[in-house]
Chains A and B, each alone.
Chain A
């Protein structure tokens, strides 16, 4: 079956540090890959996505590259801010028999940025 493995947290960094959150996946076929972010007390929001190998998704200074050879989609940011404190979820989607896409999530990584 499909699965997503992401680095366990919590992760605590100082402001302006470099961030990497690792994510690897197992899937049949050719999944799309996502990073969702959940701020305290809120639902999940799409942060970025990539739909095919070698695509790079980017948003708000975050980047992730779809690496088919290593089945990875690591999230990076060059200089984190306190406002980036949240839980980050890696996810993949594959098309179901009904035509929609079903998401499989990793367990989430809690990130805390200290001033």
Chain B
């Protein structure tokens, strides 16, 4: 049971390049999330998914796209990277409960955009 895994761990991009971050979970969770973590700002929600084939915008969705073609995978895409997207990206997943559900986080992807 690997939990939540993220690929890659670290990446350097030039402005304008594109890339896809992959998140995978083996806990059969319905819900998956992408966050970015920036100094002094905590974690901010980019996009999330409530099930296979569905996605929704979070707090800071601009410049990102996501897809959830399989229940266990949640992809985050940057079509044209900008220096403002330099950040640490965390994926998380959770299951349905009556309330106060726990989110399980991956180890993070550190992205540097030059």
Binding site for B on A (CB under 8 A): 4, 32, 34, 36, 41-46, 49-51, 89, 93, 95, 98-103, 105-108
Interface string of B82-114 (1 = CB under 8 A from A): 000000001010101001111111111000000
Interface residues of B (CB under 8 A from A): 4, 30-31, 33, 40-45, 48, 50, 54, 56, 58, 90, 92, 94, 96, 99-108
Q: Are B100 and A101 in contact (CB under 8 A)?
A: yes
16 A-B interface contacts by CB (under 8 A): A32-B100, A36-B105, A41-B107, A42-B107, A44-B92, A49-B100, A50-B100, A51-B99, A98-B54, A98-B56, A99-B96, A101-B100, A102-B48, A102-B58, A105-B43, A105-B44
Q: How far is the CA of A50 from the CA of B99 in the complex (A)?
A: 10
**Contact residues in B for A32 (Cβ distance below 8 Å):** 99-100
B25 CB to nearest chain A CB (Å): 12
**A interface: dominant SS:** strand
For the complex formed, measure the closest distance between the CB of A22 and the CB atoms of chain B, giving whole angstroms: 15
Which residues on the A side are within 8 Å of B40 (C-beta)?
Answer: 107
Cβ distance A97 to chain B, nearest Cβ, rounded Å? 9
List the A side residues contacting B33 at CB < 8 Å.
103
Judge whether B50 and A100 touch: CB under 8 Å: yes
Given A102-B48, A105-B43, decide whether A44 and B90 contact each other with a Cβ distance below 8 A: yes
Contact status of A107 and B42, CB under 8 A, knowing A32-B99, A51-B100, A99-B50: yes
Given A42-B107, A43-B105, A43-B107, CB of A101 within 8 Å of CB of B99: yes
Known: A46-B104, A49-B102. 4 other contacts (CB 8 A): A34-B100, A44-B105, A93-B101, A100-B48
